Amino acid sequence: MGLLILNGLANGLIVGGIYALVGVSLTLLYGVLRVVNFAHGEFVIAGSFLAFALFSGLGVPPLLALPVAAIAFFAAGWALYYVLIPRLALSDDPELMSFLMFYGVSIAAAALMLLLFGADSRSIDDTFSPVSVPLGPIYVSTARLVALGITAVLSLALAWFLFRTLPGKALRAAIMNREAIQIMGVDIVRLSAFAFALATALAGVTGVLIALVFPAFNPFSGAEYTIIAFIVVVLGGLGNPMGALLAGVIYGLAEQMATVFLPQAMAQIVGFAILIGTIFFRPSGILGTRSRR
């Protein structure tokens, strides 16, 4: 049992890091734009399929696919913003309409991936040497440790960007008070486009890491990661990037430890139990603050 617990903790940190990136990219999008991106999971899985296509078609290893995914998804997110988001401002309820619109985008994205790659699950057979590394009494996959290291670097870089750079501070200010920064002369349209592109780039990079950590993925896997993203966002606090990072790790640990102590079928409901408990006992999330209406 002791080894199972240690394995659960190790895998929980690794998986939690992935969940943290999935959640932080969604919370950036919601915090700045107040857009409910129901297609977020499909963006993530599209990153996995990009890594698969580069590896199977050109022999590009997943680690080299990371910068390619970042650049490609940033450019796609920038373009997608100007195609989709301005139309939302014309509706009476932009948040509700964003949910409906991105639900349609999720269906279209899943259908496109199904058309391009088929319904079969895909995986990347890129092995590291050695295959696993001993950590005390347990062995952990080298690929998972590499993914954990990349996740940690990305999380630290994101924290530095948000707290130490002018664009990052502008994003945090937009999350706190979107109207006030416009009075200060900030171009909210360009800032919003940047936030959308950054969130999309993070989703694509996370998809590459998912291809490293998890054994398989398919065009319909996106819905699962969309649900995980919403759980992490609610748990961490709506619009709070640091809260999403912390919540992702907590959720990953809870999910993996549940597989140790609970039957597989019961372990799958842990995430929903955490979501319901958070809404009941702390609606503002772990690091969220209550807003006055």
In degrees and rounded to multiples of 5, residue 217 shows phi and psi of -150, 155
List the chain domain ranges.
2-281
Confidence (pTM): 0.90
Summary mean pLDDT of the chain = 87
Q: How confident is the model at residue 150 (pLDDT cuts 50, 70, 90)?
A: very high
Task: Give pLDDT, residue 288.
Answer: 65
Reported confidence tier of residue 293, pLDDT bands at 50, 70, 90: very low
Please check the confidence at residue 63 and state whether its pLDDT lies above 80: yes
Closest CA relative to residue 197, chosen from 25, 65, 20, 19: 25
Name the CATH architecture for the domain at 2-281.
Answer: Orthogonal Bundle (1.10)
Helix (H, G, I), strand (E, B) or coil at 7: helix
Beta-carbon count within 10 A of 183 CB: 8
**pLDDT per residue as tens digits for the range 221-239:** 999 999 999 989 988 888 7
C-alpha 68/C-alpha 54 separation (Å) is 9
Is residue 1 very low, low, confident or very high in pLDDT (cuts 50, 70, 90)? low
What is the average per-residue pLDDT within 17-46?
90
Does the pLDDT at position 124 exceed 60?
Answer: yes
Q: Which are the contacts of 166, defined by CB distance < 8 A and separation ≥ 6?
A: none
Residue with tokens 């290291």: 149
Three-state DSSP class for residue 262: coil
Mean predicted confidence (pLDDT) in 208-213: 91
Structure tokens at 266: 């019961």
pLDDT value for 82: 92
The residues, ordered by sequence, that sit 6+ positions from 152 with a Cβ below 8 Å of its Cβ are 17
Say which range, 52-56, 179-183, 285-289, has the weakest mean pLDDT: 285-289
